[in-house]
Structure 1
């Protein structure tokens, strides 16, 4: 049962990745290419997603991406909750 929760969390992680890519595209479409490049380069350091998320919310009106940001926020919150439930149910234990 725990693996079901973790599988759903992984699907929400993919949704989150798609939202990240769409926000980067919106940045380039709205002449924020420097910000888009910074987010792409720093994603490998672990902060690029956070930068894109925060700047996406700040510029949601400019990017016309309010609904996309709500979906991304829901995916992040849902993934965290499902990961906690899956871990609490013992998905980290190996079958013996």
Structure 2
């Protein structure tokens, strides 16, 4: 492998490991499952290394990805919201 081929693999490894580390830390801070919900939509491989891409096409892709994640995770989001409301009723 040449240096340029390692760049793509390395950047994917870095972004994945950063995401996993953030997830671990947030679970620890928020005392795991009851207080923390993470939704990880699948990002198409052609977009996965576009960390600093601010082109309209990519922003539209991210917007649609977010909308899709809401639809696919509607039950989990509703349950989580209800749990948060219930846990803060006495506040």
**How would you bin the TM-score normalised by the shorter chain?**
0.3 to 0.5
Q: Which has the higher contact order (CA 8 A, sep 6+)?
A: 1
In our comparison, the structure showing a higher alpha carbon Rg is 2
Greater share of residues in helix: 1
TM-score (norm 1): 0.34
TM-score (norm 2): 0.36
